[in-house]
Structure 1
Amino acid sequence: MKSSKLPIIYGIVVIAVVLLMLPKYAFNDPDTFWHIELGSYMLEHKQVLYHAIHTFYEDKLPYIPHEFGFQILVALSYQAFGWPGAYLLTALSLLLLIPGLLRLARISRKELGMEEEHPLLLLFVLLIACWIYYGYFKIRPQMISAGLIVWFVVYLREFQLRVGWKPAAALIALSLLIANIHTGVWLVIAVFTGMALLESLLNKQLNKPRMLAFLGVWLVGLLNPGGLKSLFFILTVTKNDFNMLINEWQPLQFNKLDSLPIMLLLLFFVLTLPFALRGKPFRFFLAAGILYLGIANFKQNLFMWLLIPYFAAAALDAAPPWLRSWRSQLRMPAILLCLAVGLAVNSAYVFVRTPQIDAKNYPVEEMNYIMERKPEGKRPRVLSTYGTSGYVMFRGGDILTDGRQDPFITEQSKGTLGWTAFERSMHGFSVYLPEIVSYDKPDYVIVRSDSSWKLYDGWVEAFGEPSFKGTYGSVFVIPRR
């Protein structure tokens, strides 16, 4: 193949891969709705939230603002352009992530004394970016923090290669951004920094500039609205194993077909280690950490996808020798241009044909019915499932819980059956629903159409016939007693 044609082919591939990241799959995540609602509330009231809003508990339940930066950004995007605006934030996140993954692979090769470029690097990075998009880019905080974490590791390795104020400043700035956009993952970069410190100690290179930079990364993380509670948010959500009730926190099941890509990633990661470790302390520490996170659960498996280019880059020289003679000659500005073209096309498509809320998975028609009948200036109390409550709040209802855990696993939220609000929301749509309704006193109850007939008949006996049936399910009106 003539080398003059390679840049054109690579450019076409970049644009094609971006176009294959179909925008509709970024929408309809249950968390998106309450993120927008919280951000909108903060913008309207010009304050950071420290309590849950629009719940049956009014403003009495404490909330740790561990994602407030993302919530502000997504609310601004939504207020400006509606759902296409939310997708624009997704597109910008991809524009941050993909060059970061490529730079991470290149810095890995540079560390090992290899030529930074390899003809397979860009193709591999695009493949990884595709999986990350479909698995994790759902208009949630991780779509921004993913790119920030990748760039943090890039600058961390550049700083270790050559101490300087520019990479040090970048590290501190990225630490501050992560601590305010998605504080819950800040601990990961704090641990990465600790790995770099240990590396410096073992290599007898721990000097004053390095120590100051590492301390700066750690200390600047405290400059977030939630302070230490936000930085250590993982301790809150894992308390009493409440997080295990949510699918993405549960252990990975490698015997299921859905886990096949993750299993293949794990096997590939292990195969890269003989090429990638090379007796380097930081690489060993990072591999151990990523292996732990990568097999823990779906939520934390993201870190293995983000950092696999760092390890895979060193193994690419095992490819057939004839491949090494290829040179894409596609420099970063050209790659950015191709990415921008693909994302611009996707964004234009979203503006022309905006994806609709899935009425089979969310009570769209049911909330239309409720909101048409609510008293002026009053939010109706609506009991819906945990996964749909964020949407109900977004539409204007007060709810038992939304997609957050911390306000709803507190002692203040305990009620009938000795269950917290979170437990009542997760387990309540069962034989216990009449008792929970009697305790929480909602104005409306929305139940799914695929509920068992036995349960449904029991609910009809307790609440009377539903006043409305829609695509998602049925609406029961609960009279005040």
Structure 2
Amino acid sequence: MIPKMLPAALGAMTVLALLLLFPRYTYNDPDTFWHIELGRYMVEHQTVLHHAIHTFYGDKLPYVPHEFAFQIVISLLYTAFGWAGAYLLTAFCLAMLIFGMDRLTRVSRTELGLEPRHPLLLPFILLVVSWIFYNYFAIRPQMVSAWMIVWFVAFLREFQMRPSGKKTVLLTLLSLGVANFHAGVWLVIAAFTAMAVIETWWERRWTKRHTFTFAAVLLAGLANPGGLKSILFILTVTKGDFNMLINEWQPIPFAKMAHFPILLLLLFFVSILPFTLHRKPFRFLFMLGILYLGVSSFKQNLFMWLFIPYFAATLPDEIPALRGMRVKFGTRSLAVCLLIGLAANTWQVFQQPPAVDVRLYPVKEMDFILRQTADGHRPKVMASYGASGYVMFRGGDVLCDGRQDPFVTDESKGALGWNAFQRSMYGFGEYLPEIVAYDKPEYVIARNDVSGKLLEDWSKEFGPPAFKGDFGSVFAIAR
């Protein structure tokens, strides 16, 4: 059954969904700024960074280059086109993610001998992608790795159905891409590959091509500037549980209304499992992995959103009234609709480039500091953890920012026995004078939401603020 207006309705829905993905919500993530600055530095010096630049420690702290490819690409786009250029990468990743999810649903259905397309799946994909866009597409490496991992699983399942040299090459390239754009999540590539290994062994259909392909995928992960350190970066960043001080790493509070969509996703995922596993070993193992990632933290919950279409793809055929629905809306039609919607989005950004939010970041405060600073000198500026990436981006040296791994090392320990990350997170309280005395910044930027009592105490210690802006107060530290 193919309703006559269904293809047109799907096309209009796709374009409308993209028009409702407003680009301005993808900006103003604190990590974006230091990613761009690291990329600019690497391009200018034609090197890959293995140490933390622009910090109070000079070039002494180690840094694992686990996202270097993303940093170079985003810096080149920003240098060429400003913030509008940065959105070009976002739009590209959005298109690749939608294409990838569409292919993944077709692969899921083909595995079970079903018609590859079902008209209800595209609206479902658009709904899922909308959530991902507003919650995870923040000009960070995860928006690149998201579509790469989705495509990897799609090709992996196609390879398992029909092994070929072409799929071997594509799987290897995607493994290589994840290892260089966002190595911190490469372990999921290894985990999904291991699931395919178990499946192949279980079904007793192992060939030399399987051996070569799985080995190539795993070895490709090591082909990155940081080597093993990069793909095991998760062990570095979670050491000592310092990452738990960052909201996105914390357990998901499902009872909060803000996380109600995540709760609905979890309930939907669990409720459809009896109808979507189909006694397939890979699907069972895959379900366990996605369920674990989906409930572990907000950061990892992304994987449940990425792969819910794979499991939901066969669900319509479990409902007799929906089983016979068909649609003439192929990849070419989808590409045209994506081109129209994303072109409109991108045109909007180039016409009205976004501005950095002066209430979230010390824009005017850094303007003031740089006016007091001699050309060629990078002032030492102590700011809160979330604002330090912007400070570094504008030209200051910082105590700690979102790179995190250099700042949880013993080399960064200082006042109170705290490492730089702890001093940055805990520092803007009663211990600030001790930390300032140890780290000797030239300026301290205190947010406007700090208590009046603390601000009064700091004014007695450092003198009255030299400048007050929309973000906070600037204290000039006398030497």
> For the superposition of Structure 1 and Structure 2, which TM-score range results when normalised by the shorter chain?
over 0.9
Name the counterpart of 1:255.
255
Instruction: Compute the displacement of 1:326 (Å).
Output: 3.9
Structure 1 residues 2 and 231, CA gap change in structure 2 (3 angstroms):
closer
Letter of the structure 1 residue corresponding to residue 315 of structure 2: A
Instruction: Compute the displacement of 1:9 (Å).
Output: 1.4
Runs of 4+ in 1 over 4 A off after TM superposition: none
Once the two structures are overlaid, the 10-residue window that deviates more, 370-379 or 295-304, is 370-379
Whether 1:349 aligns to 2:357 is no
Letter of the structure 2 residue corresponding to residue 56 of structure 1: F
Q: Which whole-Å CA distance do the structure 2 matches of 1:416 and 1:373 have between them?
A: 28
1:73-222 matches, within 5 Å, as 73-222=73-222
Whether 1:328 aligns to 2:333 is no
1:297-446 matches, within 5 Å, as 297-319=297-319, 321=321, 323-446=322-445
Q: Which whole-Å CA distance do the structure 1 matches of 2:92 and 2:416 have between them?
A: 46
3-state DSSP class of the match of 1:361? coil
Letter of the structure 2 residue corresponding to residue 186 of structure 1: W
1:27-46 matches, within 5 Å, as 27-46=27-46
Q: Which runs of 5+ in 2 are unaligned?
A: none
Letter of the structure 1 residue corresponding to residue 432 of structure 2: L
Instruction: Compute the displacement of 1:372 (Å).
Output: 1.1
Instruction: Compute the displacement of 1:319 (Å).
Output: 4.1
Q: Which whole-Å CA distance do the structure 2 matches of 1:324 and 1:352 have between them?
A: 45
Q: Which whole-Å CA distance do the structure 2 matches of 1:169 and 1:2 have between them?
A: 37
Q: Which whole-Å CA distance do the structure 2 matches of 1:315 and 1:6 have between them?
A: 20
Letter of the structure 2 residue corresponding to residue 37 of structure 1: E
Q: Which whole-Å CA distance do the structure 1 matches of 2:375 and 2:234 have between them?
A: 40
Q: Which whole-Å CA distance do the structure 2 matches of 1:215 and 1:57 have between them?
A: 40
Q: Which whole-Å CA distance do the structure 2 matches of 1:27 and 1:134 have between them?
A: 10
Instruction: Compute the displacement of 1:117 (Å).
Output: 1.2
Instruction: Compute the displacement of 1:199 (Å).
Output: 0.3
Q: Which whole-Å CA distance do the structure 2 matches of 1:421 and 1:286 have between them?
A: 38
Q: C-alpha deviations, 1:333-370, integer Å up to 9, x for none?
A: 11011111111101110011111111111011101111
Paired residues of 2:26 and 2:134 also in contact (CA < 8 A) = yes
Q: Which whole-Å CA distance do the structure 1 matches of 2:27 and 2:306 have between them?
A: 22
Name the counterpart of 1:280.
280
Q: Give me the TM-score of the superposition, normalised by structure 2.
A: 0.99
Q: C-alpha deviations, 1:427-452, integer Å up to 9, x for none?
A: 00000001101110001000011101
Letter of the structure 2 residue corresponding to residue 426 of structure 1: M
Name the counterpart of 1:291.
291
- Report how many aligned residue pairs link the two structures: 479
Letter of the structure 2 residue corresponding to residue 406 of structure 1: D
3-state DSSP class of the match of 1:437? helix
Q: Which whole-Å CA distance do the structure 2 matches of 1:352 and 1:154 have between them?
A: 36
Letter of the structure 2 residue corresponding to residue 317 of structure 1: D
Paired residues of 1:272 and 1:314 also in contact (CA < 8 A) = no
1:16-27 matches, within 5 Å, as 16-27=16-27
Q: C-alpha deviations, 1:104-158, integer Å up to 9, x for none?
A: 1110011111111111011111111101101100000000110000000000000
Instruction: Compute the displacement of 1:324 (Å).
Output: 4.1
Q: Which whole-Å CA distance do the structure 1 matches of 2:369 and 2:349 have between them?
A: 29
Q: Which whole-Å CA distance do the structure 1 matches of 2:215 and 2:291 have between them?
A: 26
Q: Give me the TM-score of the superposition, normalised by structure 1.
A: 0.98
Q: Which whole-Å CA distance do the structure 2 matches of 1:191 and 1:241 have between them?
A: 23
Letter of the structure 1 residue corresponding to residue 278 of structure 2: R
3-state DSSP class of the match of 1:445? strand
Instruction: Compute the displacement of 1:183 (Å).
Output: 0.6
